Amino acid sequence: MSDKLARKLVQLGMLGLFLYPFLPLVYQRLTYRQAPVVLSWLLTWDPLLFLARLPRLGQGLAIVGGPLLVIALALVAGRFFCGWVCPLGTVLDLVRPLFLWRWRRQRQKSRVERLLAPGEGNSYLKYGVAFAALLLSLVSLKLVGLLDPLVLFHRAATMVFSDWVALRSPALDLYLAFSLLFAVALVLEAWRPRFWCRHLCPQGALLGWLSRWSLLNRRVSQACNYCGRCREVCPMGAIPKEPHDTSYQDCHFCLACESACPQRAISFGFGPLAWAHWEVRRRERGAASAARVKAQGFPGAYVLAERTRAERLLGLRIGRRGLAGGLAAGVGTLALWPLLRLTPTKALIRPPGALPEAQFLDACILCQECIRVCPTHGLKPAFLQAGLRAFGTPYLVPREGGCHLNRNCPHLCARACPVGAIRPIRPSEMKVGLASVDRRVCLAWDQGARCLVCVEACPNDAAIPHQGRVTVNPLKCTGCGICEQVCPVQGSAIHVVPLRGCA
């Protein structure tokens, strides 16, 4: 019980660590005082994102130590990251007790689970998803950004802290569209424990594959009476029919089986891989005795499954079908990507320093970190304004907040971008759009009023009054949108149009 409590404390501590960068935003929204901007460190530890970015190393990679450390630790402690560190997994564990209507003991697979995983264990679909995402990352990081659990959690956290804390209506908000997959993971959790982690998560597939060489072992002593209680409480389905066996590609060492065992026969500890060989041989020698125990009528006894020694040791049986399925998913996704490029697109005002439009659409992972740190809250995620390919990418809405890069913003969007889709630039290089005055509604042009609000607000002296009327100097205008933000006319009489052409 103490080990299980320790795991919960570690999970909550890591969740608080990942949510800490959002606290200054909460403080600022509640007190209306200035607060420092803290950049998120969650995505810098993402091994799946790291591997997806390897072909783009020539563009620069900020941090490699974190992902490499997670990968190295997976070789030592298996999928500990999924069970102890992953914030999405922690949220799933926290909400699971709320689903009181679900039976806690469900030995029979549902029809969907039997379709996903016809045999013993969990689905191989997650390996196909991971393979497809990594293969598609050669041309675009979009699929990785959509399905990566760390990006998924960060996107949902941005929705919560950026919208609900600001007391905005969350109904059908654009952020919700990009956090829909997070809600799907919660719904699946209400149906089956850790369904997302067991069958769909590409990060879990990567770490599970590495966990074949885990030195952290689950050990079952001779005190085991084959009651099967460990199998019932395991949320990952990592214990096959033989309770002494463990599928290490699925086990995330949650310690649920250890605390549930009535005989206290289960323990965890480090050991060499040679121990696994010895354990396999010991179980094979004990197969006959286990069969005799079952024949004597002990309740809940199980027969050892007929598996090869290599399968017992590695615990992973992807085989030719799984490999062929993953390859087909990857090639199919890669083939569909050119069709997505053919969909019509429309130019948007991108953050200053954004890559050229085509490169930006391929590099952006939709994490919305730039949206979270924007001091004017002018950056928003695109819905369908620019077509399906630009879905979820950040763009500037000047009416919501102009870009202050040329005033007091230390280029937070570029510093926050974990994949280099936004690059730091000097304020003198900023040119994201061009402002134009709608003379039909402008107070100075339409009614002859002496309204010079935009002239006074323009930081570049691009808004020029001429005989009481406002014109824009295109050579000085940077498209920052501050004039559009401060215009007193409903809907604004001055609008910024992007300079970029359609992708």
pLDDT, tens digit, for every residue of 158-207? 877 776 554 444 444 554 555 778 888 988 888 888 889 988 899 999 99
Mean local confidence (pLDDT), 341-347: 66
Mean pLDDT calculated for residue range 381-391: 78
pLDDT of residue 354: 92
Contact 346, 503 (CB under 8 A): no
Q: Tens digits of per-residue pLDDT, 27-82?
A: 877 777 777 788 887 888 888 888 888 766 644 444 556 788 888 888 888 888 99
Tell me: pLDDT of 422 over 90. yes
Strand partners, 37: none
Which option is the CATH number for 357-498: 3.40.50.1100, 3.30.70.20, 3.60.10.10, 3.40.1190.20?
3.30.70.20
pLDDT at 350: 92
Taking the C-alpha atoms of residue 301 and residue 228, their distance in angstroms, rounded to an integer, is 8
For residue 113, name the pLDDT band (cuts at 50, 70, 90): low
- 172, with CB counted inside 10 A (0-12, 13-18, 19+), is exposed
* 499 vs 330 pLDDT, higher one: 499
Token pair of 379 as six digits: 């950056």
Question: 């569909």: which residue's tokens?
Answer: 336
Find how far residue 85's CA is from the centre of its chain: 14
| Residue 276 pLDDT exceeds 60 | no
CA angle 148, 150, 154 (to 5 degrees): 115
pLDDT at position 503 over 90: no
Q: What is the mean pLDDT of residues 138-155?
A: 87
DSSP state string for 434-461: EEEE-TTT-HHHHS-----HHHHH-TTS
**Position 90 pLDDT exceeds 90:** yes
Which pLDDT score is estimated for 284?
52
Q: Which has the closest alpha carbon to 27: 36, 19, 18, 39?
A: 36
Residue 258 is inside which H or E element, if any? Answer: helix 256-260
Q: Are 265 and 221 in contact (CB under 8 A)?
A: yes
277 token code pair: 């060989």
- In this model, does residue 303 exceed pLDDT 50? no
Q: What is the mean pLDDT of residues 79-100?
A: 89
How many residues are given for the chain? 503
Quick one: how far is CA 246 from the chain centroid? 28
- The model's confidence at residue 368, banded by pLDDT at 50, 70 and 90, is confident
The half-sphere exposure of 259 on its side-chain side, counting CA atoms within 13 A, is 13
Query: Closest by alpha carbon to 317, among 132, 117, 131, 133?
Result: 117
Q: Is residue 281 over pLDDT 70?
A: no
Tell me: pLDDT of 278 over 50. no
Mean pLDDT score of the chain: 77
Percent with pLDDT over 70 in the chain: 74
Domain boundaries, the chain: 1-342, 357-498
pTM of the predicted protein model:
0.79
Q: Which two three-digit tokens encode residue 133?
A: 């995402």
User: What confidence category does residue 465 fall into, taking pLDDT thresholds of 50, 70 and 90?
Assistant: confident
CB 42 within 8 A of CB 154: yes
